[in-house]
Amino acid sequence: MSANLQTAGRRSESRAWTAGSPILVARGIGKSFPGVVALDNVDFEIRAGEVNALVGENGAGKSTLIKMMAGFHAPDEGEIRVDGKLLSASPDAAHAAGVATIHQDHHLVPNMTVAENIMLGRWPSRFGIISRREQLARAEEVLARVVPDLSPMTLARQLSPAEGQLVEIARALSEDSRVLVMDEPTTSLSPPEIERLFEVVDALKAQGLGLVFVSHWLEEVFRISDRVTVLRDGKLVDSIPAAELDHAKVIKMMVGRDVEEVRSSPREPGKVVLKVDGLSRAGVLDDISFTVRAGEIVTLAGLVGAGRSEVANCIAGIDGYDEGTVSIDSVRVAPGSPKKAINAGIALVPEDRRHQALVPQLSVATNISLSVLDRISPGGMISASREAKIVQHAAHSLSIRMASPSVRISTLSGGNQQKAVIGRWVARGPKLLILDEPTKGVDIGAKAEISEIIIQLVAAGTAVLLISSELPEVLALSDRVLVMRSGRIAGELDRDLLSQESVMNLATMG
């Protein structure tokens, strides 16, 4: 071990990126689950004062590796050592060894204060009576390193997701953690919050912590990391200093092939399908009016919280609204009923796949046919042959990869789950398809496939309303872009005026 440390030390001196000695070393890790891609002979290192970005498509094995470092899974093969000591597979052991994991949604007790949460389970006490003063003092000490402006007396339920994450980091620091594993920490954060998180990460790095950063956003990866480790199909592709990499190289390592970017050709839209007129909802949406024509992709762009999903929810009948009208083919759609919206020809692929779309206990087939139950069950009885036909068609036309339509949908990869959800709505042949962040949390290969599916649907005459935060996707697919800002449409951009700058200008300018 000491020899290892020495070589690592020497190497760090000779390199431009200053990395310290390895804190956590995983060697030859192998792991299998029924129905889930395993890890296969993976080596991984976390060094002091280094941010190691773990990237790979969904199902590449990132989560499994992270869960192993957090002590939730035991490796079938290989070993993980922290400071040379074998890490046993229990969350307690991981904590004791100084490995802390920060999840995308914070895990705090909502009705306890920030201070209580930071000291959770380790409240300083004498004879079982908690010493509030000491608790506060110790919480303040670690908070000062992360969020100095947050009061330790705030209740956890009042925190924003970003603050929650920072409090979790503070908790990790209070445990003297030396390794911080951050699993897609930026997913629910706004750009300024992300920047704040990165400042904290930079500070912690300077204090000698080893950090692991998982993200689908390569811009973030390059902004924050010193080293990029790429996994593919459970195997280690490579672990390379970030300075020696660029965007295209990483993507190529992740997918093992070149991804062709989908460019949609200019289309000839038909008649108006969706007409939204003066849609308003107190405090959320203000006088939203636009149309979407058959064979046209209109995109709602803007920052998170600008009201894009709210527009979609009003159109799809999930939420009611105070003023305005929504019409399909000039017929008004009754507000506040998803069923009526569906019958009017509206379909919504929601943003939150897990909570709003999947029924995890049911099979892929059952999940797909959920939207067409009325069509496949004359007299209330489900016709197995009609169902099979619809499912087969959806699975084939969307190339959903699965062992069989009868497997649980939860066993599929994120991209294939999403294709199944899209298939659910394509099966109904909607006039208007609303896609809210359809490629969120989906790997790059599936992203391209989903873009392709959208283009095919539009070519067949479907009107598409797209919501996307990924500007390259917006630019590649949209015929028109409506940029939203604080519940209003701030501007409209035609295809020939589209650029990242024009969209961001409208989205961010007050």
Q: Please, which residue, 452 or 470, has the CB nearer to another protein?
A: 452
Q: Should residue 238 be labelled a site residue for another protein when binding is judged by CB under 8 A?
A: no
Helix (H) or strand (E) holding 304: none
Which of 362, 388, 471, 504: binder of another protein (CB under 8 A)? Answer: 362
Residues 6 or more apart whose Cβ sits within 8 Å of residue 236: 41, 42, 43, 44, 229, 230
Q: How far apart are CA 367 and CA 387, in angstroms?
A: 11
Q: Should residue 385 be labelled a site residue for another protein when binding is judged by CB under 8 A?
A: no
* CA-wise closest residue to 119 among 104, 105, 108: 108
Under DSSP, the state recorded for 122 is: -
Site string for another protein, 179-218 (x = CB under 8 A): ----------------------------------------
Which of 20, 241, 445, 461: binder of another protein (CB under 8 A)? Answer: 445
Residues 6 or more apart whose Cβ sits within 8 Å of residue 298: 290, 292, 463, 464, 465, 466, 478, 479, 480, 481, 482
Q: Please, which residue, 258 or 501, has the CB nearer to another protein?
A: 258
* CA-wise closest residue to 94 among 119, 62, 72: 72
Decide the pairing of beta strands 346-349 and 488-494: unpaired
Q: Should residue 68 be labelled a site residue for another protein when binding is judged by CB under 8 A?
A: no
Q: Should residue 370 be labelled a site residue for another protein when binding is judged by CB under 8 A?
A: yes
Q: Should residue 392 be labelled a site residue for another protein when binding is judged by CB under 8 A?
A: no
Q: Should residue 63 be labelled a site residue for another protein when binding is judged by CB under 8 A?
A: no
Give the DSSP letter string of 429-450.
--SEEEEESTTTT--HHHHHHH
How many chain residues are in contact with another protein, going by CB under 8 A? 56
Q: Please, which residue, 199 or 374, has the CB nearer to another protein?
A: 374
Q: How far apart are CA 281 and CA 220, in angstroms?
A: 34
Q: Please, which residue, 426 or 490, has the CB nearer to another protein?
A: 426
* CA-wise closest residue to 28 among 65, 77, 70, 67: 77
Q: Please, which residue, 19 or 420, has the CB nearer to another protein?
A: 420
Under DSSP, the state recorded for 363 is: B
Q: Please, which residue, 101 or 366, has the CB nearer to another protein?
A: 366
- The values of phi and psi at residue 339, to 5°, are -65, -45
Q: Should residue 433 be labelled a site residue for another protein when binding is judged by CB under 8 A?
A: no
Ramachandran bin of 325, using left for φ above 0, alpha for ψ from -120 to 50, beta for the remaining angles? beta
Decide the pairing of beta strands 50-55 and 99-102: unpaired
List binders of another protein among 321-360 (CB under 8 A).
338-339, 342-343, 348, 350, 355-360
Other CB atoms within 10 Å distance of the CB of residue 374? 12
Q: Please, which residue, 229 or 371, has the CB nearer to another protein?
A: 371
- SS3 state at 485: strand
Which of 225, 366, 418, 468: binder of another protein (CB under 8 A)? Answer: 366
Residues 6 or more apart whose Cβ sits within 8 Å of residue 428: 342, 347, 371, 372, 375
Smallest separation (angstroms) from another protein to the CB of 423: 12
Which of 449, 476, 490, 503: binder of another protein (CB under 8 A)? Answer: 449
* CA-wise closest residue to 344 among 379, 317, 308, 309: 317
Per DSSP, what are the bridge partners of residue 99?
Answer: 179
Smallest separation (angstroms) from another protein to the CB of 471: 23
Which of 66, 212, 245, 316: binder of another protein (CB under 8 A)? Answer: 316
Q: Should residue 89 be labelled a site residue for another protein when binding is judged by CB under 8 A?
A: no
Smallest separation (angstroms) from another protein to the CB of 445: 6
Place of tokens 């001196």: 13
Show the beta-strand stretches assigned E in 205-343: 210-214, 227-232, 235-241, 272-281, 285-293, 297-302, 323-328, 331-332
Q: Should residue 28 be labelled a site residue for another protein when binding is judged by CB under 8 A?
A: no
Smallest separation (angstroms) from another protein to the CB of 371: 5
Which of 361, 392, 499, 500: binder of another protein (CB under 8 A)? Answer: 361
Q: Please, which residue, 214 or 448, has the CB nearer to another protein?
A: 448
Q: Should residue 499 be labelled a site residue for another protein when binding is judged by CB under 8 A?
A: no
Q: Please, which residue, 225 or 363, has the CB nearer to another protein?
A: 363
Q: Should residue 459 be labelled a site residue for another protein when binding is judged by CB under 8 A?
A: no
List binders of another protein among 113-132 (CB under 8 A).
none
Q: Should residue 12 be labelled a site residue for another protein when binding is judged by CB under 8 A?
A: no
Which of 86, 144, 153, 373: binder of another protein (CB under 8 A)? Answer: 373
- SS3 state at 354: helix
Q: Should residue 448 be labelled a site residue for another protein when binding is judged by CB under 8 A?
A: yes
Binding site for another protein (CB under 8 A): 32-38, 40, 59, 76, 233, 260, 316, 318, 338-339, 342-343, 348, 350, 355-363, 366, 369-371, 373-374, 377, 380-382, 399, 401-404, 406-408, 411-413, 416, 424, 445, 448-449, 452
